[in-house]
Amino acid sequence: MSGATTAASGTAAVTQKKPFYRILYVQVLVAIVLGVMVGWLWPDLGKNEWIKAMGDGFVKLIKMAIAPIIFCTVVSGIAHISEVKKVGRVAVKALVYFEVVSTFALALGLIVANVLHPGSGFQGQSNAAAVAGYAKQASEMKSVDFVLHIIPDTVVGAFAQGEILQVLLFAILFGFALMGLGERAHTVRTMIDDVAHAMFGVISIVVKVAPIGAFGAMAYTIGRYGPQALGNLAGLIATFYLTAFLFVIVGLGIIARIAGFSIFKFLKYIKDELLIVLGTSSSESALPQLMEKLERLGCSKSVVGLVVPTGYSFNLDGTNIYMTLATLFIAQAMNVDLSFGEQMTILIVAMLTSKGASGITGAGFITLAGTLAAVRPELLPGMAIVLGIDKFMSECRALTNLCGNGVACVVVAWWEGELDREKLKVALDRDIDPSDIEVAITTG
C-alpha cells in the first residue's frame, strides 16, 4: 500500500505543473524585456563589458559541449545501424532536402526584394573601410580551401578549436569503424552513449542560466547600437523579418503538413529554444536541446544524429534569405540594376558561399561579402549600409535556421520511415521545460 502511495506521489510530482515564474521560456522572455529596457534607459550600463560577458559567457558554455555532443550522437547513430546502405540513404535524402529548401529560401529573398524594393530611395553613406575585414575574409573563401579545411590536422585539434565540420567528418569515420567491428565494439558504443547522456546533463545544467545570457546579450546590443539603429533601416529589417516569417509559416508549414504535423504546434514545442536563440542571436545556443527534443518527438536517434549536425552546416535557410534580400537591397540603394541573369547568378553563387562560411563568426555577413565579390564587386562598399543593423538581422537568421533544421529532421525521419507517429502526436500536444530534461527522459 505504501509502495502504491509512493508511486502515485511520484507520478503527481512529475505531472504537477510548475509555477509560471519557474518556466524557462518565461524567464528568458522577461530577461529579454529587461535587457532591452536597461540598454535603452541606461546605455552606458548596457555597454559595460561585464554585461556583454553575460551573453558571451552563456554562448561559450553551450559551445564547449557542442563538439562532444555532435561526436557522440553521430557515432552512436551510425554505430547502431546494421546496414551501411541506410546511413548513405539518410545522408542523401537529407542533402536533397537541404538543397531544395535552401534554393526556395534564396528564391524567396529575390522575389520579395523585387516586389517590395526595400532599397529604393535610400539615402545613406557607404564606407568601404567599414567592411574591409569582411571583404578580405570573403575573398579568402575558396572552394578548395573549404574542402581541405573539413579535414582536421589532428583529431584533438578539431575538438579543441570547436570545428564542427571536422568533428563531423571524424565522427562519421569513427561510426563506420565501430559498425564494421560488430559486437566487438559493444563496450565502446555503450560508453559513447553514456558520455552523450552525461553531456546532455551538462546542457540541462547550463540552460538554467539562459535568462542571464539573454539579458546580457540584449542589454549590450541595445546599449551599443541604440534603439535608433532599428529606426534608421526599419524598412529592411521589417522586410527581412516578414520574408523569414512567410518562409517558416507558409514554406515550412506546407512541408510540415505534407509530413503530417502542424508547424504551429512544432513552433510551440520548440518555443524555449527559439527564445534562447532570440536572446543570444546564436542558433548554436539551442542546438543540443533541439537534438534532445527531436528524439523525444519521435525521430530515431540515427536520423537526429545524422541530419541535425549536417543541417547545422548545410541548411542555413535564414542566412540564404538574408543573402539574396540584402544583395538586392544594396544594389537598389546604390542604384545598380541587376539583370535577371545576374540575379540567377547570385542565387547559384549564394548557394555555394553559404556552405563555405558555416561555423564562422558573423557567417551571414561574410557570406554576403563573398556573394557580392563573386557577382558584382562594385557593390562591396554598400555593405556598410547594413553593417550597423546586422546584429538585429542575425537574430532572425538564427531563428529561421533553427526552425528549418528542426523541420528538416522530422521530414527526413518521416521520409525514411523512422518517425514514431504516436510519440509525435503526444509530444506536440504537451509542454516540457528543457530545464527538466532529467524528468522528461525518465517519463519519456
* H and E: helices and strands count for the chain: 25, 0
Instruction: Report the distance separating Cα 353 and Cα 375, nearest Å.
Output: 12
Label residue 298 left, alpha or beta by phi (over 0 means left) and psi (-120 to 50 means alpha).
left
Contact 313, 359 (CB under 8 A): yes
Which residue is listed with cell 534562447? 276
pLDDT tens-digit readout, 381-393: 766 667 656 666 7
Contact 47, 220 (CB under 8 A): yes
Cβ atoms 246, 108 nearer than 8 A: yes
Q: What domains are there in the chain, each with its CATH number?
A: 20-443 (1.10.3860.10)
> Residue 363: which pLDDT band, with cuts at 50, 70 and 90?
low
* Confidence band for 370, pLDDT divided at 50, 70 and 90: low
Single-letter amino acid, residue 285 = S
Calculate ∠ Cα 53-54-58, nearest 5°: 105
pTM of the shown model: 0.66
Question: Which letter, b or e, does each residue of 120-141 get, where b requires 16 or more Cβ atoms within 10 Å of its Cβ?
Answer: eebeeebeeeebeebbebbeeb
What does the pLDDT average to over 393-408?
87
**pLDDT reading at 358 higher than 50:** no
Helix ranges (H only) for 357-389 are: 363-375, 383-387
CB atoms within 10 A of CB 374: 18
63 touches 284 (CB < 8 A): yes
pLDDT in tens, 214-270: 888 778 877 876 665 455 457 778 888 999 999 999 999 999 999 999 999 999 998
> What pLDDT score does 111 carry?
92
* Residue 297, number of CB atoms within 10 A of its CB: 24
